[in-house]
Structure 1
Amino acid sequence: MTRIIEAVQLGHTGAPAQARELLTALWDEIGPAGDALHRCTLAHHLADLQDTLDAELRWDERALAAVSALTDERVKRHLPSLQVQAFLPSLYLNLADCHRRLGNPGPAREYLARAREHLAPLPDDPYGESIRAAVRDFVADDPTDRRRR
């Protein structure tokens, strides 16, 4: 997780190509059967670093697939306050966002509905409120509105 976090920070500080390269190398190192927390985290952040919407969508789908293999026991070893269910609103919202920007309002609405169904486990903190606000304000039919979380 330390290496993942360091690479993600590179992306946030203006080196997205380098961050993408490092995260992709970590993804290759971990492999499809690697630790689900690492796969989910990597895919979630790699989606934000893609040059095309199709590639972004594929990484968002990988993040959602990885979360299905994740357990509360595993995430609590990383951070005791985490719950797997709290990952879902953001993952679904990102999928809704990709579909909206691809001009697919039907799937965008479906993923938005799933995000809404999973808001309860979000913490009462700035992160939780930012996800709730993004879900509340999401417009599935507006491809120009970009709200990734």
Structure 2
Amino acid sequence: MCVRVQEAAVTESQRETSGDVVMGRIGQVIMLLHGGDREEARNRFAGLWDEIGEAGDALHRCTLAHYMADTQDDPEDELLWDLRALAAAESLDDGRAAHDASTVAVRGFCPSLHLSLAADYLKLERREAARLHLVRARTAAGALADDGYGDGVRAAIERLEWRLGEGESRR
């Protein structure tokens, strides 16, 4: 089960924030992925990752890795890409000023990043790790807007809580 909310490629705030060609290229591959061509998306993401590199722009790395995870067939590989996405998001806190526009865009992604990790760990039958990231997703979701994206992430968190048997405790 894919817990990711089907964002319209890259969120509008990310496009405005980045204002660059790389984010546009990532967005094109995301549309390819959402169109159902996982293998081609995986190949194109891999090429972009080679260009960006481990030391590239954190917003690019975060976005690309977040979606690259969805192209993986092996749950361990999916987990590794989602961990890369979170590491990129966390690097913004360490390396940039708190008001940097990319930092703001990536922080808006954090609930989804933790939600993805919770789902990965659940697939791998690592329930405690899943619970930990689910709590982090729920906490980070407080910063989400009351819009389609925010509502979708919150609903996905609730669904995963139910799958972990924790949905009733919230009611």
Is the shorter-chain TM-score for this pair beyond 0.5, marking a shared fold? yes
Provide structure 2 residue ranges, at least 5 long, that are not aligned to the other structure.
Answer: 1-22, 166-171
Structure having greater relative contact order (Cα 8 Å, sep ≥ 6)? 2
Maintained 8 Å contact 1:40/1:67 = yes
Alignment of 1:1-149 (within 5 A): 1-70=23-92, 72-75=99-102, 83-139=105-161, 141=164
Residues 53-78 of structure 1 show CA distances to partners (whole Å, capped at 9, x for unaligned) of: 000000000000000123552428xx
TM-score normalised to structure 1 length: 0.85
Identity rate of aligned residues, in percent? 46
Query: How far apart, in 1, do the equivalents of 2:46 and 2:24 lie?
Result: 15
Aligned residues, how many? 137
Maintained 8 Å contact 2:79/2:117 = yes
Give the root-mean-square deviation of aligned CA atoms.
1.6
Residues 69-125 of structure 1 show CA distances to partners (whole Å, capped at 9, x for unaligned) of: 23552428xxxxx54332111000000000001111110001101111111211111
Answer 1 or 2: which has greater helix percent.
2
Query: How far apart, in 1, do the equivalents of 2:164 and 2:56 lie?
Result: 36
Query: How far apart, in 1, do the equivalents of 2:159 and 2:30 lie?
Result: 26
TM-score normalised to structure 2 length: 0.75
Provide structure 1 residue ranges, at least 5 long, that are not aligned to the other structure.
Answer: 77-81, 143-149
